[in-house]
Structure 1
């Protein structure tokens, strides 16, 4: 089929598809330490002092799709035809799509000093993030004009989507100021890959059966950072054409009753898309001829494309990253006298800073020796309840984890390709998928306290952040 209307509706599902995995909170993995900057990845007197993923990608992806669009889009994807179950012409009926992706290609972290538990790290990752809303009327158009009445104006084709992908090269630093308080940050250079955004603010559609035509009107704005059809694999390589920057800041506080409180601002930044990008502010009505003939879909694509691109001009523009604020509380409980079985629940609240999304999650890991199983449940402002599982094997010097924060929906979608059309057409409250996996090892000498060391210590100075802090308050740095 042709692309434009389906892209409006289904872009996010077909995109390379992660966000912060809630089940990774307080695990102490290398991935956790880069996503939550105040978190440590090392255990003194047990861990070696260099942690590395050896270029094995630590990755994850997730998406969800809500509303009446679930059935037609899934049947189209898996069977090649639409089943218009539950779609209506009522104004205001819409579906919502959301996708996040994150792949760490390189993660390297070094334990620098026992004085302050100073750590620094470098990472290279690729991210994608997107959101979209599309109406039932738009989806009904994909299956022809049969559902639309002659001479009746329709004005609910007001779809919108935003998608951007970029590389992220980061330096991370973490320091423990006291036994109770740690602080960390991650500074990142961003290299934009592609950006696309469409907002249709008002629309008009009316069929005239006697004249065998229709009139389609759209008003809104469109931005794209590349030329469709000319984007190639070479454009995926890092370059400085679309520069940007971001910062993540994290704090970790351990209270007297052993609660661990973390507060994070994540990926607060921007990307400037170069001046050969395209922007269009459009407002036009055009005729769609011969609507009774086959392949109406192609004609609608052409007319929609012509309207949206009718006011193209080359210009640069700046867009924000999808920054988030997160607050979490954790406490650990030993479940046996031998202290081998531990339960460490974490409650997390997340709010997107530039959009309306917010989520509450409860991660429930149970650890036995080096093995951990985690059940995580989350609920967001779109009234979606998710449940997932993670399995992790972690020793002081090696770690591997795999899991999904939307386990049932992921299994359902994976099995949809082999099912009949009637089974695929059974829609729940939402469709979705989530999958993540990671691995890293530590090497080098073991981090040892002076009393346990097998080498002669030469002394450590306080870390940079603590020296600045001590200077503000007039405390001796021990130089």
Structure 2
């Protein structure tokens, strides 16, 4: 299995940060406040002054696979062999495999100002971003020569992919300017971990069946960041070898008819990869030996690597983070006369700034006391409809949530992992998996308004953004 994953890392396995975690919108959790910086995570007269995750995990992980390769890759992953009968040759059938990781290892916030309802925060997270497509023939290649009827093929491996992983250390500041407007910013230092990008312009495969070998030729471009030696788990530790910076900002607006609008710019940033990084303009050929043996996956990987790593130029390069613009609208309704059940739907539109990703989502939470059940539906420009669910327990000083934004595909994949033939051989619109989890606590003195205070309250001078707002527009009449 290790060889199988290694072989797919160059030509097939690509990551894509298209999977957002929408279910946390307008929940008021610590996770929500770091992802959407204009959102508050404290409630005066109820919450304590400090919030921290105590190094407990707060993360979301997401993946999906589309195209004819679903059955072959599931059968290889869970049964050890490829079922390639549904692959189509010569028709440029493409597959897309996507994944996203957003892992907060540290989340800390403090409430600093009653008058401005101001909060400051520090966080450290690890993110993975990328995107890519690959052909049906690329999957068939790893099953050896039996799937190929002819001995010569052109342009069947013209794949493209990117992969980017980095650490992000952030400072956030959020302030409520008045009853209608809140503003938040997120300033981040980035530390690149890994970057790979390959674009294959032309390709060819010639099979020499008598000698059980094949000749793989490709032209294109390949970029790879510098790693001192072989990449190991040690290289995941933060370093300043590949520095970068990012900015995020958000504005929350409450209208007169009680709609809550949000406008977010998420993590617009750049990473400068080391001057010892590699840029290859390859145009080469290599031999895949023992094409029908059980070593073929490793041999294919080695041949592809040898072709891609030719005509090297050392030098730094700059890559963007996958920034997004998101707009949302929310309104709260009570479902009963006793105001025990609250329904607070949020409609979200998300657009990737540098790529083609567009997603529309509707988040439907129902809250009773400290418990919330959420149903989330989302549809993207890849024509993928996903349905998710979330369970959350939230009090003023503690919160726990768990869920998935692709409930049914995640369940089907779990059944496939138990070697369920029905799920392994099932070719749906997509195969996917998704999970998110978080837990945080608040501690310290209680945040109290002066009339309720049991001790001298914290400073209540106007916040930074409110002072600027007042100088520009004058003192506002709050309603």
TM-score, normalisation: structure 1 = 0.93
Q: For the residues of structure 2 that align with 1:240 and 1:286, how far apart are their CA atoms?
A: 36
Instruction: Note if 1:6 corresponds to 2:8.
Output: yes
Q: Is the 8 A contact 1:268 1:324 kept in 2?
A: yes
Distance in 2 (CA, whole Å) between partners of 1:249 and 1:222 is 33
1:318: Cα distance to partner? 0.9
1:88 CA displacement: 0.9
What SS does the aligned partner of 1:42 have?
coil
CA distance in 2, matches of 1:251, 1:78: 46
**Counterpart of 1:438?**
438
Calculate the aligned-residue CA RMSD, in Å.
2.3
Tell whether the 8 Å contact from 1:71 to 1:426 is kept in structure 2 after alignment.
yes
Instruction: Tell which deviates more after alignment, 19-28 or 320-329.
Output: 19-28
Q: Compute the displacement of 1:5 (Å).
A: 4.6
CA–CA separation in structure 2 for the residues paired with 1:175 and 1:36 = 13
Shift in Å, 1:294: 6.6
Question: 1:98 offset after TM fit, Å?
Answer: 1.2
Contact 1:213 1:288 in 2 (8 A): yes
* 1:214 shift after superposition: 4.1
- 1:86-144 deviation digits (Å, cap 9, x = unpaired): 10112320110111101111111111111121111111111112212110011111111
The answer as to whether partners of 1:282 and 1:307 remain within 8 angstroms in 2 is yes
Structure 2 gaps of 5+ residues are: none
Distance 1:464 1:420, change over 3 A: closer
State the distance in 2 between where 1:19 and 1:110 align: 29
1:159 counterpart residue number: 159
Quote how far apart the aligned CAs of 1:211 are.
Answer: 7.7
Deviations 1:219-254 (A, max 9, x none): 111111145971223221111111001011101000
Separation in structure 2 between the aligned mates of residue 206 and residue 245 of structure 1, nearest angstrom: 46
**Paired residues of 2:277 and 2:316 also in contact (CA < 8 A):** yes
Counterparts of residues 243-282 of structure 1 (less than 5 Å)? 243-282=243-282
Q: How many residues align?
A: 474
Bigger shift: residues 432-441 or 281-290: 281-290
Q: Secondary structure at the match of 1:276?
A: coil
Match of 1:370 in 2: 370
Whole-angstrom CA distance in 2 between matches of 1:295 and 1:45: 66
Instruction: Provide Cα deviations, 1:187-222, integer angstroms capped at 9, x if missing partner.
Output: 000111111111112212233557865442211111
Distance 1:217 1:4, change over 3 A: farther
Looking at structure 2, the residues matched to 300 and 173 of structure 1 have their Cα atoms a distance apart, in angstroms, of: 50
Cα gap change, 1:74 to 1:9, in 2 (>3 Å): farther
Residue 72 (structure 2) pairs with residue 72 (structure 1): yes
Distance 1:31 1:317 in 2: 32
Q: Which residue of 1 aligns with 2:221?
A: 221
1:407 CA displacement:
0.7
| Aligned counterpart, 2:30 | 30
| Displacement after TM superposition at 1:288 (Å) | 4.9
Q: Does the residue aligned with 1:146 lie in a helix, a strand or coil?
A: helix
Separation in 1 of the partners of 2:360 and 2:458?
A: 47
Distance 2:333 2:360 in 1: 22
Query: Distance in 1 between the 2:109 and 2:227 partners?
Result: 38
- For residues 475 and 332 of structure 1, the distance between their equivalents in structure 2, rounded to whole angstroms, comes to 29
Q: Distance in 2 between matches of 1:173 and 1:19?
A: 26
Q: Note the C-alpha offset of 1:423.
A: 3.8
Is 1:318 the counterpart of 2:318? The answer is yes
Structure-1 separation of matches of 2:396 and 2:11: 46
In 1, Cα distance between equivalents of 2:211 and 2:459: 89
Distance in structure 2 (CA, Å) of the matches to 1:437 and 1:457: 34
Q: 1:294-313 to 2 correspondence within 5 Å?
A: 295-313=295-313
Deviates more, 1:415-424 or 1:243-252: 415-424
CA 450–348 in structure 1, closer or farther in 2 if over 3 Å, else same? same
Q: Is the 8 A contact 2:113 2:458 kept in 1?
A: no
Asked if structure 1 preserves the Cα contact closer than 8 Å seen for 2:226 and 2:274, the reply is: no
Does the CA-based 8 Å contact 1:18-1:59 persist in structure 2?
no
Write the distance in 2 (CA, Å) between the matches of 1:298 and 1:127.
Answer: 28
Tell me whether 1:105 sits opposite 2:96 in the alignment: no
Q: Which residue of 2 aligns with 1:470?
A: 470
Query: Do the aligned partners of 2:12 and 2:134 also contact (CA within 8 Å) in 1?
Result: no
